[in-house]
Amino acid sequence: MNTQTELLTIQEVAEATGLSVHTLRYYERIGLIHSIGRAQNTHRRYSMDDVGWIEFLKKLRATGMPIHQMLRYAELQRMGDETLPERLEMLKELRRNVEAHMAELQEHLKVIQYKIELYGELLAERTP
């Protein structure tokens, strides 16, 4: 167990989040993650809040939000409550995009499904 509030090394955060240590440092460098606290030896020590934020970032990425937009969101977050409306708008736009993307995937899935059935039938004919 750790000192007070359970601080994690970059290795541990990499394992916990599935991001590589390279990516964690990269995200911090570009400003996606605010400056992480350091131990006396300059090594990073991540708080649980940090890990929570990283998990949220992962979700944004997985929904297809480009890094520059995530950067904007992170910036707004750091600016405090007066940026709530803009962040809300970003999330709503993201929701629209994800819903549209899912609808598109659904359509494509139908075509794939159709082709699978067609191929199945053709195969049944060839090897009766």
- Interacting residues with a second copy (CB under 8 A): 56, 59, 62-63, 81, 84-85, 87-88, 91-92, 94-95, 98-99, 101-102, 104-106, 108-109, 111-113, 115-116, 119-120, 122-123, 126
CB of 51 to a second copy, least distance (A): 15
Helix ranges, the chain (H): 10-17, 21-30, 48-62, 67-79, 84-126
The span from the CA of 34 to the CA of 78, in Å, is: 8
By C-beta, is 66 or 120 nearer to DNA?
Answer: 66
By C-beta, is 58 or 118 nearer to DNA?
Answer: 58
By C-alpha distance, which of 10, 1, 91 is closest to 50? 10
CB of 128 to DNA, least distance (A): 38
47 binds, among a second copy, DNA, none (CB under 5 to 8 A by kind): none
- Provide Rg for the chain, Cα atoms: 22
User: Using CB under 7 A as the criterion, which residues of the chain lie in contact with DNA when the complex forms?
Assistant: 9-12, 20-23, 25-26, 29, 38, 40-44, 61, 66-68
CB of 25 to DNA, least distance (A): 5
The span from the CA of 31 to the CA of 26, in Å, is: 9
Enter the tokens of residue 122: 């053709």
By C-beta, is 29 or 126 nearer to a second copy?
Answer: 126
The span from the CA of 38 to the CA of 23, in Å, is: 18
